[in-house]
Chain A
């Protein structure tokens, strides 16, 4: 049995299109300073007590700098402590979070800082897309018209064909996440949108428009993880990491097989047999589902003893670089059955309770997905994203959303809108290109820890 691991603090630099005022090291420093400034022990002492770090950033092309990780370590003043770089495409941040977890669970270290960053503004948007496309097979996929939006669009089209998912249902995800972000001072963009706004936006890769797709960002995030004794010494409201899971799949999405569904505890083989499926049985994962996401969920749920995710999880921060990937993901996570995410979303299940979205949502608030606004609205500085999700989930479970959002300049009234009522368990989900690496981590407020200012 591994020992218990807790998250004790986190910080995020505000993600923006371009941070020309600072180098990546100094942007990470902002997230780090915030992380070590909110604890029971003075920052100077925590700085000394950090035993090791883990660093995540995705692309060496964006920085035009190899070994960028050590430059951050040295700028933060954490040399000569142990550190290493973690990389796995869009899941880089989530993998980093889990690496820091493992280093404490294994008893190698007791207090570990995980930091991540990406500065994507140093090249133009289309060159940036080219760099990202280099994260597809450069012999077989990239030369055919390498463009990640084009890859996800094909997955989305197949989801529509297999399950009858509509472009309006995709638009609901965009409306929800952009609207949630209006109450998150850290979000890169936000707004009240209608289905028409999303559909009338410029078409990028049919059927995905500009408002179905996240943008490039510069930003950093950091989290501090600790063993139990250290955690309670540093804060009265540590959040336990009760489960981690990771999955993988073929780099070329064309290589994904068509087999049987990997079932979660609450699913049955018969759920995926019948005339409503093309060919009488759901062929899995194909390109409509992310098998890596399902693998990650199976492992994380087993560790966290989750057998009925919809009932046992209070909210989730998931990868929504594309509206379609949020739909595909909530199926992988078992919030609804495969094929039902469009309807599940349209009914309002994944929306925040108590926010007016200008939509008729009969089942609003069952399991809020991306309360923060997700990647679509908060931005996706790849190496930081998975850690940003951890920070928002951590604040949510602590009950400190309001405190942190006010500190970031938001009015008291607006700053508490995204705080859920007494959430106990949250899920974070980080995902790399077309579902190659996926991580799922479960965060939970310990039973004897009271939520902060409710």
Chain B
């Protein structure tokens, strides 16, 4: 059987659609010794990389549906009673299947920080306050953004403050749909 050939095959003409960076006139000596090439400066190319994930919250989905609707829920173990603010459908203490429970919308500030820098994604939002909330009857804490305190005056006196949950009006289906602010006494 004859091998089929493609006489029209060619490389892409449009170099702008090729990956990496095209460098023109990169010098290369006609005469060279081994050391000349080992002394060469490294060539550094730029490579862009972006991706859209279809990230499923899976069994944790009701938690996000709740905060999108102004409710706070967590999970409680029917066997040992261990209750978590972020959901864990399997108990981290004994491994039993847990049940969804309503959580209070008020709590106390357990710890905090003010981020003056952050990951690239959050740089525009600095300075922002991260805090951990203690909720009555819950064995774990809730990591959240804190609003309503001055990020330029952080103080250990903030710890123990009464805080209340607020919910973003337009849900982004992110854990930041809920955030906490100082509760008026």
Whether, in the assembled complex, A40 has its beta carbon less than 8 Å from a beta carbon of chain B, the answer is no
Interface SS of B by simple majority = mixed
Q: Which of B60, B118, B139, B154 is within 8 Å of A145, CB to CB?
A: B118
| Given A254-B86, A255-B92: A126 touches B118 (CB 8 Å cut-off) | yes
Whether, in the assembled complex, A257 has its beta carbon less than 8 Å from a beta carbon of chain B, the answer is yes
Whether, in the assembled complex, B171 has its beta carbon less than 8 Å from a beta carbon of chain A, the answer is no
Q: For residue A253, which residues in chain B have a CB less than 8 angstroms away from its CB?
A: 132, 143
Whether, in the assembled complex, B161 has its beta carbon less than 8 Å from a beta carbon of chain A, the answer is no
Q: Mask for B118-145, Cβ within 8 A of A = 1, else 0?
A: 1111110100101110000001111111
Q: How far is the CA of A206 from the CA of B151 in the complex (A)?
A: 10
Q: How far is the CA of A202 from the CA of B154 in the complex (A)?
A: 15
Give the contacts of B1-17 with A (CB-CB under 8 A). none
Whether, in the assembled complex, B28 has its beta carbon less than 8 Å from a beta carbon of chain A, the answer is no
Determine whether the beta carbon of B154 is less than 8 Å from that of A206.
Answer: yes
Q: Which of A130, A138, A156, A206 has the most CB of B within 10 A?
A: A206
Determine whether the beta carbon of A161 is less than 8 Å from that of B120.
Answer: no
Whether, in the assembled complex, A149 has its beta carbon less than 8 Å from a beta carbon of chain B, the answer is yes
How many contacting A-B pairs (Cβ < 8 A)? 137
| Given A144-B175, A257-B139, A257-B140: A150 touches B111 (CB 8 Å cut-off) | no
Whether, in the assembled complex, B162 has its beta carbon less than 8 Å from a beta carbon of chain A, the answer is no
Determine whether the beta carbon of B118 is less than 8 Å from that of A254.
Answer: no
Q: For residue B117, which residues in chain A have a CB less than 8 angstroms away from its CB?
A: 126, 129, 147, 149, 204-205
Q: How far is the CA of A146 from the CA of B174 in the complex (A)?
A: 13
Q: Which of B84, B113, B159, B174 is within 8 Å of A150, CB to CB?
A: B113
Q: Mask for A50-85, Cβ within 8 A of B = 1, else 0?
A: 000000000000001000000000000000000000
B88 to chain A, nearest CB (A): 7
B103 to chain A, nearest CB (A): 13
Q: Which of A20, A157, A253 has the most CB of B within 10 A?
A: A157
Q: For residue B128, which residues in chain A have a CB less than 8 angstroms away from its CB?
A: 145
Determine whether the beta carbon of B86 is less than 8 Å from that of A252.
Answer: yes
Determine whether the beta carbon of B55 is less than 8 Å from that of A138.
Answer: yes
Whether, in the assembled complex, A153 has its beta carbon less than 8 Å from a beta carbon of chain B, the answer is yes
| Given A154-B132, A254-B142: A140 touches B119 (CB 8 Å cut-off) | no
Whether, in the assembled complex, B57 has its beta carbon less than 8 Å from a beta carbon of chain A, the answer is yes
Q: How far is the CA of A156 from the CA of B113 in the complex (A)?
A: 9
Whether, in the assembled complex, B44 has its beta carbon less than 8 Å from a beta carbon of chain A, the answer is yes
Q: Which of B42, B60, B115 is within 8 Å of A21, CB to CB?
A: B42
14 cross-chain CB contacts under 8 A:
A126-B123, A127-B119, A130-B121, A140-B60, A140-B143, A144-B143, A153-B115, A154-B132, A157-B112, A206-B114, A255-B84, A255-B92, A258-B139, A287-B141
Q: Chain A residues in contact with chain B, CB under 8 A?
A: 20-22, 64, 124, 126-127, 129-130, 132-133, 137-141, 143-147, 149-151, 153-158, 160-161, 202-208, 250, 252-258, 287
